[in-house]
Amino acid sequence: MHRKKLRNIFVLVLCIVLFGVDSANSVKAVDAAPTAHNPPLVEHIFFHPLIAYPQRAFIGDRQSREMFDWFVTVPEFKRILQSLYDHQYVLVHLEDVYEFKTVNGKKRAVRRNFPLPEGKKPLVISIDDPNYYTYMRKYGTVDKLRLNHEGTIVSESHDLKGNVVLSKDLDIVPILDRFVEQQPDFSYQGAKGTLALTGFEGILGWRTQSTSPTWSRERVEARKVVKRLKETGWRFASHSYGHRHHLKMDLDRLKRDERKWKREVSTLIGDTSIYIYPFGEGYKLDDERLMWLEQQGYTVFSHVGNVTYEQRLENKIVQDRRHIDGITLSQQRDMFLDLFDGKEVIDVDGRFPIDAIRKTKKACP
Question: What whole-number distance in Å separates Cα of residue 178 and Cα of residue 201?
Answer: 28
Question: What whole-number distance in Å separates Cα of residue 347 and Cα of residue 7?
Answer: 14
Those residues of the chain that have pLDDT short of 50 are: 1-36, 359-365
Instruction: Identify the pLDDT of residue 333.
Output: 95
| CA nearest to 314, candidates 112, 111, 100 | 100
Q: For residue 206, how many other CB atoms are within 10 A of its CB?
A: 28
pTM, full prediction: 0.88
Amino acid identity, residue 312?
R
Q: Crossing angle of helices 251-261/288-295, nearest 10°? A: 30
Instruction: Identify the pLDDT of residue 111.
Output: 87
| CA nearest to 332, candidates 46, 61, 69 | 69
Which residue(s) pair with 99 in the sheet? 110
Question: What whole-number distance in Å separates Cα of residue 59 and Cα of residue 57?
Answer: 6
* Enclosing H/E stretch for 182: helix 172-182
Question: What whole-number distance in Å separates Cα of residue 339 and Cα of residue 331?
Answer: 15
Instruction: Identify the pLDDT of residue 166.
Output: 98
Q: Crossing angle of helices 172-182/74-86, nearest 10°? A: 30
DSSP character string of 130-157: TT--HHHHHTT--SEEEE-TTS-EEEEE
Rounded (to 5) percent helix, strand, coil in the chain: 40, 20, 40
- pLDDT, tens digit (0-9, with 9 covering 90-100), for 348-358: 999 987 566 65
